[in-house]
Amino acid sequence: MSVTPPVTPAPPAAATARSPAMSGRARALLFVLCGTVFLEGIDVAMLAVAVPAIRADLGLSTGTAAWVVSGYVLGYAGFTLLGGRAADLLGRRRMFLLWLAVFIAFSGLGGFGTEGWMLIVSRFVTGVAAAFLTPTSLSIITTSYEEGPQRTKALMIYAATSGAGFALGLVIGGLLTEVGWRWVFFAPVVLAVLMLVSAVRLLPADTAPPRTEGFDVLGAMTAAGAMLLLVYGVVRLEHGLADWGLTLAAMGTGALLVALFVRIERRAAVPLVRLGILRNVPVVRADAGMLLFFGAFFGFQFMATLYFQELRGWSSLKTSLALLAMCIEVFIVPTVTPRLVNRYGTARVIFVSFLAAVGAYALFLPVTADWAYAAMLPSFLLTGVSFSLGYGPLTIAATDGVAAEEQGLAGGLLQTAMQFGGAVGISAVTAVYGLAGGDARIEAFRAALVVPLVMAALGALLAATGLRGGGGPVRK
């Protein structure tokens, strides 16, 4: 493996101005690649809205219904690292087409589910498919578009598409659930089939045969096992003090597997993860920042949804419409954020995004049982601004300057941090909510809302360390 090169300085203003525009084929390719994160966002959001209807129709227990959601997170977080590296070694086109087909098959099977275990299996395998698809699509972007303004624009569009998928998923999920919850599984299949047909024509061919010789099978198995156990342990935190023994055993075993994984990687001829990449401080800081960023965001969004539906008694559709204010990033990310990054650099924009998150979550702390929506709106809008300024620049920072043959690995590390952060955020707020009394008590909501605030504050402190020396080269 080659040593990760230093971050390439940004081009001067004149060079940026003459940056070549994307060709029609390049735009079409970006459309397909962005479809993966749109698909992921809409899929997750629609299911979150539909779970109450699924539970009522199939007579599922609370625990089983929770695992319909958690199964996806478990599969995604457990295999993202492997998914990213497989793209580097086995071919990005091969991995994209294969796992998009798997996504189609198992999402469709979920729509025919009649038992809780069928839905859990469907969601778990769909999550595994997403774990291969997302870092693969990200690595195709970072290797297909020239580093600098063109790649920045592509990544910003990628980030905006993710937000658009989540935003539309909230509304479409509410509408489809009214028709029948099974359409929440079938609708992504239609979109994925269209993507598959387009991808066959547009994806660049793999220029090298699959590098299966010396593939780090033991490292791959250990990494997947470690992540599965760690995420399982984190998800179990939602159950509060119930059966702490199993939770601690899962997390302890996961930690031991992490130590074993590091030992394996040091000795492997072709390691799954070249440990040297972890000495790239900007990449590690971006990954840790994304973990805190997503943990805070999803923790806050989860508690807001719980507040509307359990305390206020709002319908799923009304709740979805109320949360749409957070989705203003659809308009900000492709227009305003690239200009800010080009002028001030990723480090400064990321820092401001965390400050916006701190402000958003702090403003929601005084929530009452009968708060007017106008009082909540500033928090939702500021959350959207934070997402607009954070997601894309963190993605750039996590992949910038990484060698082309390790872009899949960089994307896998980033996606692992995102999914692990989301699991930590949701589990932590749920655990605090339960410990504070739960039962739709406003005091419990306020206690739980402290968690995303603390995570955002830690993220701001971490981001501040990247501002030394001006936060890196500023792109003019």
Which tens digit of pLDDT belongs to each residue from 241-293? 566 888 889 899 999 999 999 999 888 877 878 888 888 899 999 999 999 99
**Quick one: pLDDT at residue 158?**
85
CATH class of 280-468: mainly alpha
pLDDT exceeds 80 at position 129: yes
Residue with tokens 């501040």: 464
In residues, how long is the chain? 476
Instruction: Report the mean per-residue pLDDT for the chain.
Output: 84
pLDDT at 443 over 80: yes
C-alpha dihedral, 202 to 203 to 208 to 209, nearest 10°: -100
- Which are the contacts of 440, defined by CB distance < 8 A and separation ≥ 6? 310, 311
Lowest-pLDDT range of 4-8, 49-53, 60-64, 160-164: 4-8
Q: Could you report how far apart the first and last alpha carbons of the chain are, in Å?
A: 33
pLDDT band at residue 238 using 50, 70 and 90 as cut-offs: low
Confidence band for 224, pLDDT divided at 50, 70 and 90? confident
Residue 197 has a CB neighbour count (10 Å cut-off) of 11
Whether residue 21 is predicted with pLDDT greater than 80 in this model: the reply is no
**pLDDT at residue 33 in the model:** 92
Count Cβ neighbours within 10 Å for each residue of 228-260 and write b for 16 or more, e otherwise.
bbbbbbbbbbbbbeeeeeebeebbebbeebbeb
Average pLDDT over residues 228-239: 79
Q: Per-residue pLDDT tens for 384-423?
A: 999 889 988 999 999 888 888 888 888 888 988 888 888 8
R_g of the chain, CA atoms, integer Å: 21
Taking each helix axis from N to C terminus, what angle separates 373-399 and 316-323, rounded to the nearest 10 degrees? 60
- Alpha-carbon distance values, 41 to 45, 171, 227, 344 (Å): 6, 12, 22, 29
Q: Where are the domains of the chain?
A: 25-204, 216-269, 280-468
Give yes or no for residue 474 having a pLDDT over 80.
no
| pLDDT for the residue numbered 239 | 62
Q: Residue 214: what pLDDT?
A: 58
Rounded CA gap, 23 and 147, in Å? 16
- The CATH superfamily label for domain 25-204 reads MFS general substrate transporter like domains (1.20.1250.20)
Neighbours of 443 (CB within 10 A): 9
Give me the pLDDT at residue 16, please: 38
Specify the residue for token string 């060709």. 23
The top-scoring range by mean pLDDT among 175-184, 239-248, 429-438, 455-464 is 455-464
Average the pLDDT over each of 73-82, 160-169, 318-327, 410-419 and give the range with the smallest value.
160-169
Taking residues 340-369, report their average pLDDT. Answer: 94
